[in-house]
Chains A and B, each alone.
Chain A
Amino acid sequence: MALTKVRGAGAEGLTLSSTSLTVSNGLTLTDGDIAVASGHGISFVADGSASGMSSELLHDYEEGTFTPSITFGGGSTSIAYYSGRQSGIYTKIGNCVNISIHLQMTSKGSSTGSVQVTGLPFTSDSNDHYIPSAVFIMSMASMSGGFPTFRVFPNATYMDGHQLSSNTYSALTNSNCTDTTVFQINAKYFVA
């Protein structure tokens, strides 16, 4: 129930109740932020919905950093990185997180096995989508299995390295890397 009609030059469209404020023709803040209570967001319910829509509420936004790592077969014995070249940044919008990773080793250490990039900032969702990424590489060893890529493993916080050929793929391993291998990875994935 509306309790107050705000009257005054340019303010006729405001309706104030005990629990809400309705603005009939746009809202402009000249300073300060809009603070949304936990569990709430910006609703787009008034817009039409596509088939399969599961949410129309933008409930989260966050920017930050994380520290990714390379492992071989799950191990990281004596792996070392150039100063400042073991870094990750993220931007999370709703249930989707965009990540950018820069990893440059000075030593690949002694662990062996499949390459993983661990330490993602959020747990991926449980859908078995295995989201692929865009990758830039330098200083690789033999790549007989094809060009490398990384996929986000579902319900986890790491990416698996693969080599892609025309009709199959195989694991990227320590043998494909040198002491100075560089991985620059951009990816986005949905969070749990």
Chain B
Amino acid sequence: MAITKEEIQDKFEVVGDFKHIQVRTATVIKEDGKEISRSFHRHVITPNSDSSNESADVKAMVAQFHTDAVKKAYADHLAKEV
């Protein structure tokens, strides 16, 4: 009986006015190749996030969506505290 564990980034979503990139990581447990468990962990990359440790897929999305204009707009939004 072989138990294996793998982590897969199985969902990427670009949401909101400031192109936040929502990433879902699935942890899949398999027994003899058959999936017996799947759980999820989420994190979000915002335009002011450090993406240096992200996957190649996420880095490509950051390059595409987090333009200087988006970064400035998000910074202006964050400064709008009430």
A residues engaging B (CB < 8 A)? 62-67, 90, 119-123, 125-126, 128, 130, 153, 155-157, 160, 191-192
Nearest chain-B residue to A121 (Cβ)? Answer: B42
Give the residues in chain B near A62, CB-CB below 8 Å.
40
Do A121 and B43 touch (CB < 8 A)?
yes
Q: Is B30 close to A, CB under 8 A? A: no
A-B contact count (CB 8 A): 56
B31 CB to closest chain A CB (Å) equals 19
Of the listed stretches B1-9, B18-26, B51-59, B62-70, chain A binds B18-26
**Complex Cα–Cα for A153 and B81 (A):** 9
For the complex, count residues of B whose C-beta is within 8 A of A: 18
At the interface, yes or no: B33 with Cβ under 8 Å from chain A?
no
Q: Which residues of B contact A (CB under 8 A)?
A: 15-18, 20, 22, 24, 39-44, 46, 77-78, 81-82
Given contacts A66-B43, A120-B44, A156-B46, 13 further A-B contacts (CB under 8 A): A64-B24, A65-B42, A67-B41, A121-B43, A122-B22, A122-B42, A122-B44, A123-B22, A123-B44, A123-B46, A126-B16, A192-B15, A192-B16
Q: Which residues of B contact A157 (CB under 8 A)?
A: 20, 44, 46
A122 nearest CB neighbor, chain B only = B22
